[in-house]
Amino acid sequence: MNADGAIITSTLSDEESIENAALLSQLSMKASMMVNAMDPEDELTFLRIRSHKREVMIAPEKEYLMVVIQTVESSS
């Protein structure tokens, strides 16, 4: 998504894309604020969250927020 929150491209439905974009941009902003609070000279460069079913990777940049959501393959 770009800096204004507009979705650039997505393989999800429009509804899922809009919901995920809103939630993940807020999460990225909060994580960035936390990193800055720990060290004002540092910045968030990558955020990865993994659950049993999915993995979310966020790479914040100045002009856009790149998000990848993928299904985790089971190892059984």
Indicate the average pLDDT of the chain: 93
Cα atoms in the 13 Å half-sphere on the side-chain side of 24: 28
- Tokens read off for 25: 């941009």
What pLDDT shows up at residue 76? Answer: 60
The pTM score is 0.86
In whole angstroms, give the CA distance from residue 39 to residue 47.
17
What pLDDT shows up at residue 30? Answer: 97
| Average pLDDT of the segment spanning 14-25 | 94
pLDDT digits (tens, 9 = 90+) for 25-47: 999 999 999 999 999 999 999 99
- For residue 12, the tally of other CB atoms under 10 A from its CB is 13
- Tokens read off for 2: 């770009």
Residue 2 has pLDDT above 70, yes or no: yes
In whole angstroms, give the CA distance from residue 61 to residue 3.
9
